[in-house]
Structure 1
């Protein structure tokens, strides 16, 4: 059975919400919320004490599994993601400008799928890596650490779209349960954007809680 995390949005409520769930467990493990600095000890913050298997969790004061939206620092991780995306874009553009334009690996892979008998996946990888800009990029591990893999495909000409995409990737869990009781599986870019906008737009006193469920 699958284990996934849903972000549950609730109206103002008693902070002891963990007892409300049957086999649902409050556990943001890996996707906890940042706490607004100065509010780390606010009793309205929610931190699950145990994992589903009963092991203790040690959630640092700067993180929580949920609480009123006003106590959740949603902007800092989004700002960091935006800055990292912009830095990667600028680093790649500056580096790539010294070479002939490169093609994304997807182009070579598509050629293989179109003619698998004559164009092998090994040849597709070799041809991709033989491009001057990619060969130089692969020989520069420090740049690769900043930029990430397949930069031609990921770092196009639209830096604003790249930044917004990076920001939208930060807050979502596997699913969202809205204040209105609507369940939304977060399966594509449009839904991640909706998730982010919805969470940021919650009333200040509404709760958002990361819940690990087994279903």
Structure 2
């Protein structure tokens, strides 16, 4: 079992009965409904995202609008308020869907700037591969062998530790952790900057190439969607229509070209301003 985040789209007429409307939309995809393996997806969900910062950013000036949705209580009854400027859903016209992408671009740029700044203050590091080959040699492992035995020492751990102990690499990773920690208090999850080998991930790239590679895809905050017409797009797969018995027998044209993050984002950008977008966390 694992978790999934998905945006459920509802017509504006569902305002005032959001919980019931979400349950109706999600119902066909609940596990053990007997509708076929393609429909056996979730066994628990909760409307949330405002408190964690994973949900929607609110358009400036609408932060206190009563039409916004906020996190439903947890299973034990506890609840948390949304972060400033965040919510778990509401009318499309009140939500800033570009905020996460814009912040990811800015954050990636700052991560590149850190490397450029620290590179002028520390000696150039040696590449990780050199430390790995040294570790393999110390352990008697052939240079290009794939070496892994559960419970036994491996060459990668000491190689990584030695590589990251170099002044520039260590200083950069420490500064990057501080940058991500500060960003985590806002509305963008900086987990996409999971860099462990900065010499490879940052050092050889221009600022433009680095920000493009670390924000164009990961900056999309909403990878999965249940559309207004009842199409479920999850994990990049082709959609499955809740009104039909499965992909093989569905006669309808898909509502989105594909389940790619970019196509999902384009779909959400284009729904009517009064349509409700609701952010859910699922147990699947």
TM-score interval, smaller chain: 0.7 to 0.9
Q: 1:14-40: CA deviations, max 9, x gaps?
A: 223112327543222521212112112
* Aligned residue in 2 for 1:135: 167
Query: Counterparts in 2 of 1:129-208, with a 5 A limit?
Result: 129=164, 134-139=166-171, 141-142=174-175, 145-146=178-179, 149-155=196-202, 156-164=204-212, 165-166=214-215, 168-173=217-222, 175-186=224-235, 191-208=260-277
- In structure 1, distance between residues paired with 2:124 and 2:105: 28
Higher-RCO chain (CA-CA 8 Å, sequence separation at least 6): 1
Contact in 2 for aligned 1:108/1:127 (Cα 8 Å): no
Gaps of 5+ in 2: 28-43, 137-142, 149-153, 180-192, 238-258
Contact in 2 for aligned 1:10/1:206 (Cα 8 Å): yes
Q: Return closer, same or farther for 1:108/1:38 CA change in 2, 3 Å cut-off.
A: same
Q: Return closer, same or farther for 1:179/1:99 CA change in 2, 3 Å cut-off.
A: farther
1:120 aligns with 2:168: no
Classify the secondary structure of the residue corresponding to 1:39. coil
* Aligned residue in 2 for 1:209: 278
Q: TM-score normalised to the size of structure 2?
A: 0.58
Classify the secondary structure of the residue corresponding to 2:66. coil
Query: Counterparts in 2 of 1:27-106, with a 5 A limit?
Result: 27-28=48-49, 29-30=51-52, 31-59=54-82, 62-96=85-119, 99-100=123-124, 102-103=126-127
Q: Return closer, same or farther for 1:206/1:108 CA change in 2, 3 Å cut-off.
A: farther
Moved over 6 A (4+): none
Q: TM-score normalised to the size of structure 1?
A: 0.72
